[in-house]
Structure 1
Amino acid sequence: MPDTKTAPRARSGGRSARRTLRSAPNVQMLPGLTGQLPLCEVMNGAQVERIDLASMDVLENVGVQFRDPIALEDWRRAGAKVVGEMVYPDRGLIRDLIATIPSDFTYSARDPGKNVRLGGRHSIFVPMTGAPYLRDLDDVRRNPTLADLAMFHKLSHMMPALHSSAHHIVEPYDHPISQRHLRITYSSMKYSDKTFMGMTTSPKNAEDVMEMCAILFGAEFMEQNPVTTGNCNGNSPLVWDETMLGAMRAFCRRNQPVLCSPFVLGGANTPASVPATVAQLNAEALSALAYTQIIRRGCPAIYGHYLSTVSMKSGAPMAGTPEISLMNFMIGQMARFYGVPWRTSNTLGGAKILDAQAGYESATTLSAVIHAGANYIWHSAGWNEAGMHCSVAKFVVDAEQCAMAYRMAEGPQWGDFEQALAAIPDVGPGGHYLGHPHTQENFQTAFFMPELFDNNAIEQWVADGSKDTTERALLHARRMLDAYVEPRLDAGVDEALRDYIARREREIPPADALNQEY
């Protein structure tokens, strides 16, 4: 496999060599984040229990609609009260089921050196998915293609703070919808050797993803090792549908984790109250988490959600609002109360371009999810226009912001404290540290130096072309893509994956609309 890591720093070669080294992109993936900062907990113990009891009351007395005959029969056999499509699980059953969810686990990547642990204080950053449009390398908004998807998977592979290549970062419109999941999964596997996500757009699509993962990793290996992640969205308020539940079964039966994600539009499909919204969301998430354990006891599962508040002026979803941050803090507390990993959404923007609005919204959310202790930090790069497009410029800026948040979340580094203190008497009053040996040895690592923000004097900025953040980010993305080296698949595995795709594309009608049977 080609080595995509940067070369070690040389001490010789002159100014030209040093300039070349500084301009070479850093593509070495950071290990999964182990957070060291104190967590922000906005509820006391009594309030956590109040949310828990309210959620249990919702489950027992209001119920959750499972629009799926297989799931209804599964719940009935598990001992839950089932009336029509309504399930009324009692709190004892819910607690018994969720107690078997692992509190943490490790994702196995194609490159074992990029395995990452999830749960507890262990977190990963995952790019956005699902954008129907992109803003491309020329910052033009347009429909994406398979080549655009491959570009984002390559960038995901090269951004140090991104731990996953996700799946359909953008929708490839040049391929039939009914067959698209096959090409998306192959692109995730081919262009990066990090962990990735699997499509859950239908039960059969999810089964295809599982078969492709079995080709890549081996079916027996998957029985003991999570290798991908599915996302199953609930229909708030209090509905889980047949498509999502069928996909959930496909993943859980193969011991692969799913995100159990109620889709919150605060004030529209939840009460216009932060605590009551969290109580409803918690009930929805618990019902799905419990069902994963009915499918297969002990399989990994992740407490999920998508959070947005709704503008009462227009009905449009909003990002970066104070209530979203508060809900993240509260959901983190609830997930820890139940001892399960949890997912959140990161760097969300409602702006139409990479501007101040996009930056403020994204930074607000990023700070909140770090201090909330989120584990699976999804939508960490590229999201703008309420998810309608993925911006290449924002993608690389967001990824660098995640690297900065990673550095902060590691907490203060004390390894060279005594050596640094020893520099103080060496320099003394009125001196400077720029030429001190400790500074010379540590200046590149002591303080984070963003590549995509300009901190030069205005005269230097003008001399360099007066580039704004978007222009600098797009130039950076082009440099990274020019330097990309594909982590090649084993030839036999690649052939088997291509054969599987070819067979399934012969079997699946290239329908203009998704046939749910496939």
Structure 2
Amino acid sequence: MTKTTMSVLSRDDKQKIHQAALSILEETGIKVESPEVLDMLAKAGAKVDQGSQRAWLDERLVSAALATVPKKVAICSRGGVDFSIPDDRVQLISPDGQPPAVLDLEQGGKRPSTLKDLKDLVVLADALPEVDYIWPPVVATDMPSDRSTYYEFLVALAYSSKHIQHGATSPEEARFQVEVCAEVVGGRDELARRPIMSDVCTPISPLRYDKGEAEALVVLARASVPLVHLSMAIAGSATPVTLAGSMAVIAAENLSGITMSQIAKPGAPGLYSSFSGPTDLRTGVFLCGAPEGILLDSAAVEMARYYGLPSCAGGPSNSSRSLLTESGYQSGMTAMASILVGADMIVGLGGMDRAAMISPEKMIMDCEAWRWLERLRAGIEIDDDRLALEAIKRQGPGGLFLSDPHTRKFMRQDLMVPQITAHHPQTLTKPSEDELLMYAMRKRKEILASHKPQLLSGEVTGKIDEIAKRHGIVLPGGGRIFEHA
């Protein structure tokens, strides 16, 4: 069976982007705001200037890194559902990652997200079968700002047994994440073998790694945690206005992250990634869901394949602040591109407002759309049984296939049954957008009332609580971070 696919780059295009990226790394270089990481690069043979915090990576270093970075990456979970990517049969999707606001339909609109919102959204994502991994869906803005990412990581780990993806803003935070996950799986060696977490390492476009990000990358690479080298190019402001120029920067940023990780530990797993888009030159804001973003992220997935690496890309992205037409068509187009171009990991369920807000109802509706897109991606299977010649002969001209045994045999294999949206007879009124939202709201409430996540044991949570306390992570009133089984 041939799957439905799309492509935006030719072989020659990919070679030109690669050569441009090599030129950028060798002639322009990258800024790394960490003396320790610059020393590491210098010892590996990179040209380094500590005064300007610059490093220049030549083709030899980049090629050596591409030779040692694994071409398969394990994406595992404490619940025992494990994947190895790339795999043409598997595309993994998660909620949007850490916007600072939620769309609260019951309270009338956008508001800052809280620790309770975080827990509810993690439980919701854990229950939705379409969700494969969890990027903490919101920022806990009611927690201390210098520790909020710690709470977000812990809540995701506590209330979902799915794979956790996060980020680390300092080497301390990276070590904390490794220590906690090693406690869950039974040691650091087991965590390296079955990584239940992955980390997003994001340079500041163009071509700059701040001190905390660079040093966290090194810690995580040495622990064999899969690293998502995420470029967030903004064409027209942080990167060139031409898409080709932005693609070259995206490639250079990914190759620089991969090179640093392989110098830190040859064989450290990594993914090539982009969540990029254009600048609205009228206002200066970043546009999510724009066609240029679709092209940039799709090109990045193809560049990942060019290097033989797994990929991660943005999914149902949009710039809308309401759950109306703009949100729907932008989310649909961006998600369709990511699945058809073959991204291995996709992020964005529920995201809105240029990744600054999330809606639990949209997460539910995005899951429905994701099922549609999976069916589109699957294509048409053609074999003797599915050609249905015997059924056609039985029914003959003017026949009806509703009651034919062939229909009963294949109806759930070839046809996707919608769960939220519906195909209604012409005599019935189709549900309005408001009715769809009401359905999604009811489903959210039902899930939160009934779903019981697979909790960690009391022994493990007790040890994690002690680790958390050493890092200053305590709940108001001295309560425990975790519920436990």
Fold shared, TM-score > 0.5 on shorter chain: yes
Q: Are 1:125 and 2:93 counterparts?
A: yes
Q: 1:164 to 1:313 in 2, by over 3 A?
A: same
SS in 1 for 2:199: strand
Compute the TM-score of the two structures, normalised by the length of structure 2. Answer: 0.91
1:198-249, CA deviations, whole angstroms, 9 ceiling, x for partnerless residues? 3413221221111110111122201323221111111111211111112212
Q: How much has 1:69 moved relative to structure 2?
A: 0.6
Q: Are 1:439 and 2:407 counterparts?
A: yes
The match for 1:498 is: 465
Structure 1 stretch 325-334 or stretch 92-101: which is displaced more? 325-334
Query: For 2:342, which of 358, 364, 373 is the aligned residue?
Result: 373
Distance in 2 (alpha carbons) for counterparts of 1:474 and 1:297: 48
SS in 2 for 1:229: strand
Q: Are 1:60 and 2:29 counterparts?
A: no
Q: Are 1:172 and 2:140 counterparts?
A: yes
1:302-351, CA deviations, whole angstroms, 9 ceiling, x for partnerless residues? 11222111111111211222222222332222212211112111111111
Q: Name the count of aligned residue pairs.
A: 472
The match for 1:362 is: 331
Q: Are 1:76 and 2:42 counterparts?
A: yes
Structure 1 stretch 319-328 or stretch 292-301: which is displaced more? 319-328
The match for 2:452 is: 485
The match for 1:116 is: 83
Compute the TM-score of the two structures, normalised by the length of structure 1. Answer: 0.85
Q: How much has 1:179 moved relative to structure 2?
A: 3.1
Q: 1:106 to 1:422 in 2, by over 3 A?
A: farther
Distance in 2 (alpha carbons) for counterparts of 1:310 and 1:281: 15
SS in 2 for 1:292: helix
Aligned residue identity for 2:226: P
Q: Are 1:215 and 2:198 counterparts?
A: no
1:108-150, CA deviations, whole angstroms, 9 ceiling, x for partnerless residues? 21121x2122225343112111111101362632222222111
Query: For 1:326, which of 295, 320, 326 is the aligned residue?
Result: 295
Q: Are 1:390 and 2:358 counterparts?
A: yes
Q: 1:293 to 1:455 in 2, by over 3 A?
A: same
Q: 1:329 to 1:502 in 2, by over 3 A?
A: closer
Structure 1 stretch 356-365 or stretch 425-434: which is displaced more? 425-434
Distance in 2 (alpha carbons) for counterparts of 1:465 and 1:58: 51
Q: How much has 1:36 moved relative to structure 2?
A: 5.8
Indicate conservation of the 8 Å contact 2:273/2:301, yes or no. Answer: no
The match for 2:483 is: none
Q: Are 1:472 and 2:427 counterparts?
A: no
1:370-398, CA deviations, whole angstroms, 9 ceiling, x for partnerless residues? 1221112122x011011111011111111
Q: 1:418 to 1:141 in 2, by over 3 A?
A: closer
Indicate conservation of the 8 Å contact 2:126/2:453, yes or no. Answer: no
The match for 1:429 is: 397
Q: How much has 1:443 moved relative to structure 2?
A: 3.0
Distance in 1 (alpha carbons) for counterparts of 2:173 and 2:85: 25
Distance in 1 (alpha carbons) for counterparts of 2:361 and 2:290: 23
Distance in 2 (alpha carbons) for counterparts of 1:307 and 1:268: 12
Distance in 2 (alpha carbons) for counterparts of 1:451 and 1:377: 22
Indicate conservation of the 8 Å contact 1:67/1:240, yes or no. Answer: yes
The match for 2:210 is: 241
Q: How much has 1:419 moved relative to structure 2?
A: 8.0
The match for 1:274 is: 243
Aligned residue identity for 1:116: F
Q: 1:445 to 1:481 in 2, by over 3 A?
A: farther
Q: How much has 1:488 moved relative to structure 2?
A: 2.4
Q: Are 1:147 and 2:116 counterparts?
A: yes
Indicate conservation of the 8 Å contact 1:54/1:279, yes or no. Answer: yes
Indicate conservation of the 8 Å contact 1:198/1:209, yes or no. Answer: no
Q: How much has 1:38 moved relative to structure 2?
A: 5.5
The match for 1:203 is: 171
Q: 1:106 to 1:202 in 2, by over 3 A?
A: same
SS in 2 for 1:49: helix
Q: 1:415 to 1:171 in 2, by over 3 A?
A: farther
Query: For 2:16, which of 28, 35, 50 is the aligned residue?
Result: 50
Indicate conservation of the 8 Å contact 1:310/1:316, yes or no. Answer: yes
SS in 1 for 2:354: helix
Q: How much has 1:107 moved relative to structure 2?
A: 1.6
Distance in 1 (alpha carbons) for counterparts of 2:22 and 2:292: 23
Indicate conservation of the 8 Å contact 1:137/1:478, yes or no. Answer: no
Aligned residue identity for 2:460: V
SS in 2 for 1:408: helix
Aligned residue identity for 1:145: T
The match for 2:7 is: 41
Q: 1:509 to 1:207 in 2, by over 3 A?
A: farther
Structure 1 stretch 482-491 or stretch 188-197: which is displaced more? 482-491
The two structures, once aligned, show a CA RMSD in angstroms of 2.4
The match for 1:231 is: 200
Distance in 1 (alpha carbons) for counterparts of 2:447 and 2:12: 50
Query: For 1:262, which of 231, 236, 250 is the aligned residue?
Result: 231
